Amino acid sequence: MKKSTLLIICLLLLTLVASVVMMRSYELDLVHGVVLNTLIQKGPGNYSGRTVRETFQSARTAAEREDRSQAYLEELFALSQRLEKIQELSRDEMEEILESLHPSTN
């Protein structure tokens, strides 16, 4: 195999490894943002987006402070799967979801 071909293969593998490492480090950011925006979009029109954002930020901060980032990520994945099946959330459903994320209840 030519040296240039081997070098290209090594560079591609290095790029792949770097991409995977970066995705893992930003995984929580991505999932947190997607679930937050989905919840705001599917929530009642008169529900405060600010309240939702503050609750999510509070839950994330508490998870990071308590070294529970992986558990929080799993909660977000579960919530994401639940939201996939729902077209629109009622006020009570929104309250229930936010209460489940609130750090003082976990």
83 pLDDT more than 80: yes
Average pLDDT for 47-59: 93
Average pLDDT for 86-99:
93
DSSP one-letter string for 24-41: HHHHHHHHHHHHHHHHHH
Read off the pLDDT band of 106 (50, 70, 90): very low
Q: What is the pLDDT of residues 26-42, one digit of tens each?
A: 788 889 999 999 999 99
What burial class does residue 100 get, using C-beta atoms within 10 Å of its C-beta: 0-12 exposed, 13-18 middle, 19+ buried? middle
Neighbours of 26 (CB within 10 A): 11
